[in-house]
Structure 1
Amino acid sequence: MKNSFIVIFFLIVGCNKTSQKDNINIDKIEYEVVFRENHAGVYEKLKISNTSFEYFYTYADRGRGPEYTEKITLNEHDFIINQSIEGVNYRKVPINERFTANGTAASWKNPKGDSKGEIKEDELYFRYDGSPAIYEILAQHLLKSTSNKVTLFPEGEAELVKKIPLTLKNGTALDLLMINGLDMNPTYLWMIGNEMICSISGNLHIVREDFKNFRTEMKILQDKVEDDFLIEITEKLSHSIDKVMIKNTNVLTSTGSMLFNQDVFVEDETIKAIRPSDDKVIAESIQIIDGTGKTLMPGMFDMHTHNTKFRGMLHLAGGITAVRDLANNKQLKELSAEFDNNTIIGPRIVIFSGIIDGPGPFANQRNVIQNLEEGLSEIQSYKDLGYQQIKLYSSIKPEWVKPLVDKARSLDMRVSGHIPAYMTASQAIDRGYNEIQHMNMLFLNFLSDTIDTRTPLRFTMVAKHAASLDLKSDEYLQFVDLLKSKEVLVDPTMAIFENMFVSQKGEPSPTYSEIMSRLPVISQRQFYAGGLPKTDKTSALYKRSYNNMLNVLYDLFQKDVAIVPGTDGLPGFLYHRELELYEKSGIPVAEVLKLATIKSAEITGVAENYGSIEIGKKADLILIDGNPLKNIGDIRKVEWTMKGSNMYYSKELYNAMGIKHYE
C-alpha cells in the first residue's frame, strides 16, 4: 500500500525563509513523527489532483502504534465527499473506514458500524481513526469561517479559539491555532497559510521535514502559549476560601462508616471542628455550604499516574487531591511546585518515582540506560532530585535487577515496576522488588520466563491464559505467600485491562460507557476501538480471563496483600471505574473507599495530614452528591474539591475542558 507514495520523486524544500513559504508546486510532502523525543515514524501527503489526496501515517511505540493508508476527495468547497482509511490502530486492531457523500445523502462505515444520514453542505466529516489529514482540512475551514466554528459530521463542533502569529528565530512567520471541541485539551496546529507545518500534542510531534530542525523551538513557543492558557484558567476557576462551614453533611470516617448530619468547620486550610448539625448563628465572615443529603469525603489518592500540566484539572474535578507519579521526566518537581502553588490547577504529588529502562526497540524512551553503570548513576540522580522510588521497566536486563535494587535500597528508595523480559514476578521479588505494577504482571508469573514482556505479548498471553489459573493450586498459593512474606505492594490498574480484554470493537467500552456522552468527540470515539484484537472465539475467552483477574484481586484483598487503586490512564474518570471494579470483585464498598483515602495516605506517608476527615488535619475535601457507601457509582458526582486554600467546582473545571457535568 505504501508503494504508491514512492513513485514521485521530489526535492525536499531547504530550511530557509523563502522556500518554507513557497511549496505550492510540491506534489508530495513528508513529515517526521517524533514520539518521546525519538524518531518514531512518518506522515506522508501525496497530491493526486486539486481535490484528491493520499496519505500514509505510522509510528511505533514499544510494539504498538498505528499504520494507516488514507484517501480523501474534496468537493469544490473543500468538504470531504469520499474518504477511505485502512490499516491498524494504536493497539493493532484492523481499521477499515469509509465515507461517501452525494449531495446531502451520506453513508459511512466506522468502528460503530454502517450508517446513513443527511449531511449539510457546511458539515465536515470527522473520521474515527486515521492520519493527521483531517486536522489540516479542519484548520483550513476554521480559518475562513466567519464564526470561527465548523460543524462536524456526524456529531460535534470545533472552534478556533485563538490564531496566534509567531516568528521563528530565522524570521519565518507562522500561525499557531488553538482549537477547542475535539479533545479535553485544546488542539494546537502550526500553520503557514493553509499548510500544516507541525502538530505538537504531548509526547507526539508531527513536523514537516523542512521544519524538523525548528521543532524544539516551536515546542518552546507552544509551551508558553499553553502555560499562559492554563494560568488564565487557574486564576478564573480557583475560588479562594478562608473560613468555611459545610452544614448538615454526611461525613465518611476513616473506618468506612458514615457520620450523618454533621457541621464541618474549616479555617486556614485546616479542619477545626466536626460536630452534629445545629441551628446556632454563624458569623457573617464564615462561608456557608449546604451539604444536606450529600457526602463529605477526604480527597482521594490515585496511586498510579503520569502527570502533565493538562491532567491536573481532571484529577481535581474527579475528587483526586493526591497522586503517586510512577514515571515521568526529571522536571516533575517543577510541575509539582506549580500544582502546589496553584499556578496551574493540579493535585499534590506525594510520591515521585524515577523510571529506568534498558536498551532495545521496545524501550520506554523516557530514561534508557545502555549499561549497569548508567543505571546506578541514574538512581543516584533521582535520589538527589528528591525522588522516593525507582520504577524498572520491561527492557531492563535480568542480571541488572539485583544491583539496581541494592543501589536503590542503599539510598532508602523503594523499587517497583514491570517485570523485565525473560523474568518472572517471583524472580523480581526475590531480587528485591517492593511492589509490582499491573495485574497482568502477576499472571505472567504462571506462564513462562521465556515471554518477551517488552512486546504486546505481556497483554495477549494473559488474555489467552489467565482464565485457566487455578486459585487453589499450590503454585498460586505459594506465590501469594511470597507476596505476603516480602510485603510486596500490588498496583493492579484493573480498569485498563477491562478496556483491553472485555470491550468490543464498535461498541461502547464498559470501562467508559457511563461517561462517554459527556466527553468531546475524539475522546468518545477512542472508546469504540475494542481494546485488544479479538475474534468471536477469543472474545469469550478474554472476558473469562478478565473475570479471573477480578477473582485474584479479591483473593489478594482477602489474604491481606496490600493493593492500591491507580489508573495509569485517563485521570478522574478511569479512577472512578477502578473503584467500581474493586467492588465488583467482591471487596466491600467501605473498604474500597478506605483504600482510596486513608489507606493510600498511610502507604504514601502523609496520613498525619491527609486521607481522613479529622480535627487538625488539612482540609483536602470533596463533596459528593449522593452516598457512595450505598452506590459506589455516586463517586462520579463530585460537586467540588477543596485543596489548600482554594475550592474548585467540578462543573466549571469540566466545562473548561469541553466535558459535560454529571447532571
Structure 2
Amino acid sequence: MVAAGQPEAPRHPAGVPGTERTVVGVSGPVIDARMRRRVGLAAAVAGFSVVAGIAAGAGAVQAQAHVTVDIGARDPAFSPDGSTIAVSILGKIWTLPAEGGTARQLTDGASWDTRPAWSPDGRFLAYAARSRQGADILVRNMATGGVRFLHGVPGSVGHMQFHPDGSQLFFVDDRSQYEAHVWRIPLAGGEAEQITHTRSWHEWSFALSPDGNRILLETGRFDGTDLYELDLEEMSLERVTDTPEREMAVAWSADGTRRAHVMTHNGLDQLIVSVPGWRKQFLSTFDQKQLAFHPSGEWLLVLGGRRMQRLDLESGEFTPIPFEARFEVAGDPADDLLITNVRLFDGTGDEAVPGSAILVRDGRIAEVRTGEDGGVPEVAPGTPVIDGGGRTLLPGLMDNHYHYWQPLAGADLLAAGITAIRDPGSAIQDAMDFKDAVRLGVLAGPDVYTAGPLIDGPAGYHPLVDVSIDDPAAAPALVRALKAQGVDLLKAYFLLDPDVLAAVVAEARVQGLPVTGHIGVRTGWRQAIEAGISGFNHIRVWRDFLPLETQADGRDMSLDGGRNPVGRMQADWREIDPASPEVMSLLELMAETETALDPTLYIQDVDDGDRVRFSIEEFHTARQAYERMGEFVRRAVEAGVPLLAGTDNVGLFNELEAYAEAGVPNAAILRAATANGARWLGKEDDFGTVQPGRRAHLILVDGDPLADIADLRNIDLVVKDGVIVFGGPPTEPLIP
C-alpha cells in the first residue's frame, strides 16, 4: 500500500536500488540505502511503515558541511618555544599561532577533548578525552600523530602540566565538585600517585615551579578557596592567600619570577599579577578566566568568556588573540517529512485527536490535519511518508531541570524523547560550550537553554558552578555579564539575601531574562514573588510556613546542621499542611502571577531500598514528607500554577510518573513536559506544541499516555528540527 500523495513505485530487479525487501517487524516496503540516510536507519526497525519514493538520480542527502567558530576556546597551553597555543575548542584539541589565526584540528572522534599540556621538549601533547564512562589521559606524538593511553579516571580530568624534566605528568582527578585532587603519573606509564588528599575539598588549578619541586595550588571547600604552596619533597605547606573570596586560576612563569591568579568577589573578577618589584590588579566581569604565561614571561594569556587576550605585563594593555576553527559537520537533510495516521496530542489542550497528519518542511511544522475528515496534506513526489499506525504523536519532551554536566549524555536524552532541556546551573564555560556544540551540529543532543552559574550568597554550596554576590549594587553588572555570554535565564540560589535577590530579578527583567530560584533559606517564596521572580525549583517552602528555629539555614552538607529528621529534606514536611489556608494563599498568588513550579518531586522519594540508609523513624518521616510534597504539587496544579517537569538528572519518566501518583491529571503532566517550558522561556511560538510554524520536535509513542503516563516510555520515533534522530526503542531504556 502506498501512502496518500505518493506515486506508485516502479518495480526493479533484485539488487537494484528500489527493490522491495522484507524485514521482520516492518510492514510495507523497506527504504533503500539513500533513504536510510534521509529518515534514519533505526526507523526501519521501529515497527511502523516507512513509505518513500526517491526521484531518479537523487544524490546522498547527508552531505558534509562546515561551520566556522571564533569563540569557544578553553584550557590554553603554550608550546615550549612560545610560537603555538594548544587549546580546546568545543570539545576538540586545536593548535594556532600564538598571535592568533587559523586553528588546526588535532583530535577527532566521539570523545570530548580538553586540557592540552605540552611536554617540555615540545615532542608530546597530553590531553583528556572524556567519554560516557569517565576520562582518559592520552599522549600524542606531535611528529608522528600517534596517540597512546596513559591513565583513566572515573570522572573528568582537570588541569594538567608536565614536570619540567618531562618525566611525569601532573593532573587533577576531578571526581566531583567536592573531590578534585592533584595526582601525578610517570610518562612511561605505571601507577598514578595522589598528592592532595583533603576530603570534601577541591583543588582545581595548580602550577609547578620551574624546578618542579613546588606546586602552587588553589584549595577550598564550598565557596571560598585560597592559594597554597606545597613542597613536593618535604610535603610541607605554606599559605599564600587568606581571604573569604574565591582565589583560583593560578599561573607561574617559566623563570619562576611571576605569578598570576584570579580572585572573584561580588560577581567581578580581579586579575592579580605579581612580578619582581610590583603587583598589579585588573578588574573585569565574571567570565570563568584561565591564565597562561608566555614562555618569555613578557605577557600573560587571559582566557575569559571563551575568548583569548594578550596582557602585556609592561604596559598593562590587553590585545585580542583572534582565531577561527572550522568544524566539519553532517549537512541537514533537505527533505520534507509527512507523518500520517496518528493520535495527535498537540500540547494545547487535554485531548488527543485520532486520524491526524503532520507535514514537516524545512525543519518546522508546515501543516496539521486533525481528525478522520481532515485528510492528508499534499506532498511532492519523493517525500518520505511515515504511517504512524494509530500511535500517539506529541511534541518533543523538555526536561526543565537538567544539569548538562556530561557532554556526551545528549544521545541518551534524545533517545528518551527529550529534544530540549533547561539547565538551571552549570559552569558558564561548560554551559555555553555544550549549548553551542549542539546548536552547530558538533554534538548530538537536545537544545540547551542555560542559566550558566548559580547566583548565590557567600559560602555557596556548589563551588564549581556558582558565582557569589552579597551586595545589591553589584547585581546589575553581573546580570549583564551573564547575558552578554549568552545565558537564556538566571538561577538564584538559597544563600541570597532578599535585597540581593530583588536586585538580580530587577536587572534580569531589564535584560529580558526569566529567573528561577532554588531558594527558601534566606528568602521566602512570597518575598521572591513580590520581587518578580519567574519560578521556583524544588519544594523548599519552609521559610514561609515553619518557625525559624526548625528551618534549614544552609549549614554543612545536610543544609540544616542536622536539625531535621531526614537530612536534605531540609524541613520536616509533617509540619506543613498542603491544604491549609496559608499554603493555598501562596499557591493562588503563584497562579495569579504565573510563577512556575519545577518541583523535582521524584528525587525526594524513598522506597524500601532506602530503608538501610535510615532509622525506622527517619524512613517513615521521609515517606510522610514525600506524600505531602506530592499533595503540594497536585494542589498547585489545581490552583492554576504552571507546572514545569524537571528532574535534577534522575529521569524524566520517573518524574512524570511521580506526578501521576500524586494525582496530577495526565494532560497537565504532558503539558508540563512540553508546552509549559517553552512558554516559561518566552519561546512558545518557536517550540513546545505541534502547531504550524513551530519547530518540528516530535515523538511517536506506542500507547496512550493520556490514559497511562507510563506509556511515554514506549517511544518509537524522535524527530528534532525535522530530522529523525531516534527511530526505535532500545532493549533497555537508556534514561529511567
Match of 1:207 among 157, 165, 182: 182
| 1:557 positional shift | 0.8
Match of 2:521 in 1: 421
Amino acid at match of 2:403: H
Cα deviation, residue 611, structure 1: 1.8
AA aligned to 2:545 is: F
Determine the C-alpha separation between the residues in 1 that align with 2:597 and 2:735.
31
Deviation at 1:341, TM superposition (A): 2.2
Please point out which of 321, 345, 351 is paired with 2:419: 321
Alpha-carbon distance in 2 for matches of 1:419, 1:261? 46
May I ask how many residue pairs the two structures share in their alignment? Answer: 454
Describe the shift of the 1:597–1:263 C-alpha distance in structure 2 as closer, same or farther (beyond 3 A).
Answer: same
State how far apart, in whole Å, the 2-side matches of 1:620 and 1:349 are: 14
Contact (CA 8 Å) 1:467, 1:546: kept in 2 or not? no
Please show how residues 454-533 of structure 1 align to structure 2 within 5 Å: 455=556, 456-457=558-559, 460=567, 462=569, 465-498=572-605, 501-502=606-607, 504-505=609-610, 533=613
In structure 2, C-alpha distance between the alignment counterparts of 1:240 and 1:582, rounded to whole Å: 38
Within the candidate set 472, 476, 496, 1:396 is matched to 496
- Which of 335, 359, 363 is equivalent to 1:265? 359
Q: How is 1:8-87 mapped onto 2 (pairs within 5 angstroms)?
A: none
1:553: how far off?
A: 0.5
Q: Is the 8 A contact 1:250 1:295 kept in 2?
A: yes
Q: What TM-score results when the alignment is normalised by the length of structure 1?
A: 0.59
Corresponding residue for 1:608?
Answer: 685
What is the alpha-carbon root mean square deviation over aligned residues?
A: 4.2
Residue-by-residue CA offset, 1:107-132 (whole Å, 9 max, x unaligned): xxxxxxxxxxxxxxxxxxxxxxxxxx
The AA in structure 1 aligned to 2:136 is Y
How far, CA to CA, are the matches of 2:697 and 2:508 in structure 1?
Answer: 32
Contact 1:179/1:186 (<8 A) preserved? yes
Question: For residue 310 of structure 1, what is the aligned residue in structure 2?
Answer: 408
Letter in 1 for 2:723: N
Measured in 1, the distance between the counterparts of 2:501 and 2:733 equals: 46
Contact 1:329 / 1:366 at 8 angstroms: preserved in 2? Answer: yes
**SS at 2:690's partner residue?**
coil
Could you list the runs of 5+ residues in structure 1 that have no partner in the other structure?
1-36, 38-160, 224-230, 507-529
Amino acid of the residue matched to residue 459 of structure 2? G
Local SS of the residue matching 1:305: coil
| Structure 2 gaps, min length 5 | 1-74, 76-110, 140-148, 154-169, 186-194, 196-205, 209-216, 218-248, 251-289, 292-305, 307-326, 561-565
The structural deviation recorded for 1:547 is: 0.6
Q: Which has the higher contact order (CA 8 A, sep 6+)?
A: 1
1:245 maps to which of 335, 338, 341: 338
Aligned residue in 1 for 2:634: 554
Matched, 1:274 2:368: yes
| Matched residue, 2:46 | none
Question: 1:325·1:349 contact (CA, 8 Å) conserved in 2?
Answer: yes
CA distance in structure 2 between the partners assigned to 1:489 and 1:566 by the alignment? 12
1:650–1:661 contact (8 Å) kept in structure 2: no
CA spacing shift, 1:358–1:635, aligned 2, 3 Å? same
Q: TM-score, normalised by structure 2?
A: 0.54
> Aligned to 2:508, which of 395, 403, 408?
408
* Aligned mates of 2:513, 2:368 — CA distance in 1: 38
Alpha-carbon distance in structure 2 between the residues aligned to 1:263 and 1:433: 39
Q: Which amino acid aligns with 2:619?
A: S
Q: Check 1:384–1:174 CA distance in 2 against 1; reply closer, same or farther (3 A cut).
A: closer
**Contact 1:398–1:421 (CA under 8 A) maintained in structure 2:** no
Residue 675 (structure 2) pairs with residue 598 (structure 1): yes
Deviation at 1:492, TM superposition (A): 0.8
Give the SS at the match of 1:613.
Answer: coil
Q: Which shows bigger deviation, 185-194 or 625-634?
A: 185-194
Distance 2:673 2:362 in 1: 25
- Post-superposition CA distance 1:347-372 (Å, at most 9, x none): 22346465312222635442333541
Do residues 566 (structure 1) and 664 (structure 2) align?
no
Q: What is the match of residue 146 of structure 1?
A: none
Do 1:415 and 1:433's aligned partners in 2 also have CA atoms closer than 8 Å?
A: yes
More displaced stretch, 427-436 vs 581-590 = 427-436
Identify, as 1 or 2, the structure richer in helix: 1
Structure 1 residues 638 and 202: alpha-carbon distance in aligned structure 2, compared to 1, 3 A threshold: farther
Whole-angstrom distance in 2 between the partners of 1:194 and 1:326: 32
The answer to whether the Cα contact below 8 Å between 1:271 and 1:617 also exists between their aligned partners in 2 is yes
Kindly state the Cα deviation for residue 374 of structure 1 after the two structures are TM-superposed: 4.0
Contact 1:315-1:347 within 8 A present in 2 as well: yes
Q: Distance in 1 between matches of 2:359 and 2:377?
A: 13
- Counting aligned pairs with the same residue, the percent is 23
CA distance in 2, matches of 1:412, 1:661: 36
In structure 2, the residue matched to 1:446 is 545
Query: What is the match of residue 664 of structure 2?
Result: 587
Contact 1:470 1:476 (C-alpha < 8 Å) held by counterparts: yes
Residue 597 of structure 1 contacts residue 611 of structure 1 at CA under 8 Å; is this kept in 2? yes
Whole-angstrom distance in 1 between the partners of 2:376 and 2:590:
52
What amino acid is aligned across from residue 317 of structure 1 in structure 2? A
Q: Is the 8 A contact 1:354 1:387 kept in 2?
A: no
